[in-house]
Amino acid sequence: MSDLKNLGNETKYFYNYTPQVLEAIDNKNSERDYFVKLECEEFTCLCPITHQPDFATITINYIPNKKLVESKSLKLYLTSFRDYGTFHEEAVNIIANDLIKLLEPNYLEVTGDFSVRGGISIKPYVNFGTGKYETLARQRLENHI
């Protein structure tokens, strides 16, 4: 764990998309399948057109493989969207892509529950599965409501 740059050190926040702040730690239980659920109830980004803030709860569920996301780095990463202009659907896909690249998980899903603006709430969902988890990904996507 000595390779971690954020945990145990002074916190430096980034407010414009900074994927390089994400860090992983070893999964000491990789022989077992289990879900990890992470929720960020204070996610913000900016509308890329109006530059008005959008607020959301981001939920990340994953079945780890060899790596786990280090939670402080995830907090810093999600905070880095604060001044970043992106559509809701794009935001959840960016988060999923970055976590897939970092963790190479067996399965991952990201849900954005964005607050109502203009009378419409947007709740994008994306998932990914590899190997035997491809069927799980397809089933969860087809049954997602």
| Catalytically annotated residues | 47, 54
Angstrom distance (rounded) from CA 71 to CA 56: 18
Instruction: Give, in degrees to the nearest 5, the angle at Cα 72 between 45 and 113.
Output: 35
Q: Residue 111 has which token pair?
A: 């849900």
List own/partner pairs for 28-35 with CB under 8 A and 24 or more apart: 30/64, 30/65, 30/66, 33/63, 33/106, 34/63, 34/64, 35/61, 35/62, 35/63
Q: Residue 57 has which token pair?
A: 């709860």
Q: How many other C-beta atoms are found inside a 10 Å radius of the C-beta of residue 77?
A: 25
